[in-house]
C-alpha cells in the first residue's frame, strides 16, 4: 500500500510515517518512481509505534524495543529489550520524582501567597472601616 493509504488506515499523517522511517521504526520499499510502498504488516506496526509514543517513549527508546517484536524468539534481543524498558521506567520514575518536588515547591508558594492575600484583605478591610 502507498503512504496515503497507510496514513488513512492508521490515522497517522504521511509526515509522521516518513519520520518513523527516518528513525528506523518503519520500513518501506520504493517503486521505480520512488513512491513508498508498505506491506500489510505496517498497519499494526504503526499502531504499536503510536502506542509507544503515547506512553511517552522517545523514538530512540522505541528503536531499542522494536527488535523484541521483530525477533520474538531471540533471548539476547529479549534481554536487551528488557534492559531498555527498565531504563525507560527509571527515567520516568526520576521525572515523576522531579514533578512531585516541583509541585511541593509550588504548593509552598501558593500557601505563602494565600497568607499574603489574606493579610492584604484584612488590611484593606481595616482601612475601609476607618475611612
pLDDT for 125 = 66
Nine-digit cell string for 131:
475611612
- Domain 1-57: which topology? Multidrug-efflux Transporter Regulator; Chain: A; Domain 2 (1.10.1660)
Q: Nearest Cα to 28, choosing from 12, 44, 40?
A: 40
The full DSSP string for 87-125 is HHHHHHHHHHHHHHHHHHHHHHHHHHHHHHHHHHHHHHH
Q: Is residue 130's pLDDT more than 70?
A: no
pLDDT for 51 = 93
- At 45-103, the pLDDT tens digits run 999 999 999 988 899 999 988 998 889 899 999 999 999 989 989 999 999 999 999 99
pLDDT for 68 = 87
pLDDT for 124 = 78
Task: Give the predicted TM-score (pTM) of the model.
Answer: 0.70
Q: Is residue 131's pLDDT more than 60?
A: no
Q: What is the DSSP letter of 129?
A: H
- At 23-50, the pLDDT tens digits run 999 999 999 998 999 999 999 999 999 9
Sign of CA dihedral 29, 14, 16, 41: negative
Q: Is residue 10's pLDDT more than 80?
A: yes
How far apart CA 18 and CA 36 sit, in angstroms, is 9
The full DSSP string for 1-46 is -BHHHHHHHHT--HHHHHHHHHTTS---EE-TT--EE--TTHHHHH
pLDDT grade, residue 129 (50/70/90)? Answer: low
Amino acid at each position: 500500500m502507498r503512504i496515503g493509504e497507510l496514513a488513512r488506515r492508521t490515522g497517522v499523517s504521511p509526515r509522521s510515517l516518513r519520520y518513523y522511517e527516518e528513525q528506523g521504526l518503519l520500513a518501506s520499499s520504493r517503486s521505480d518512481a520512488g513512491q513508498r510502498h508498505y506491506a500489510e504488516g505496517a498497519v499494526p506496526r504503526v499502531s504499536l509505534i503510536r502506542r509507544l509514543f503515547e506512553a511517552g517513549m522517545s523514538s530512540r527508546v522505541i528503536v531499542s524495543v522494536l527488535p523484541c517484536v521483530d525477533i520474538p524468539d531471540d533471548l539476547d534481543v529479549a534481554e536487551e529489550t528488557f534492559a531498555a524498558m527498565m531504563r525507560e521506567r527509571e527515567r520516568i520514575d526520576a521525572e515523576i520524582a522531579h514533578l512531585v518536588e516541583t509541585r511541593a515547591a509550588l504548593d509552598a508558594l501558593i500557601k505563602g501567597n494565600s497568607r499574603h492575600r489574606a493579610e492584604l484583605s484584612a488590611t484593606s478591610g481595616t482601612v475601609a472601616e476607618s475611612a
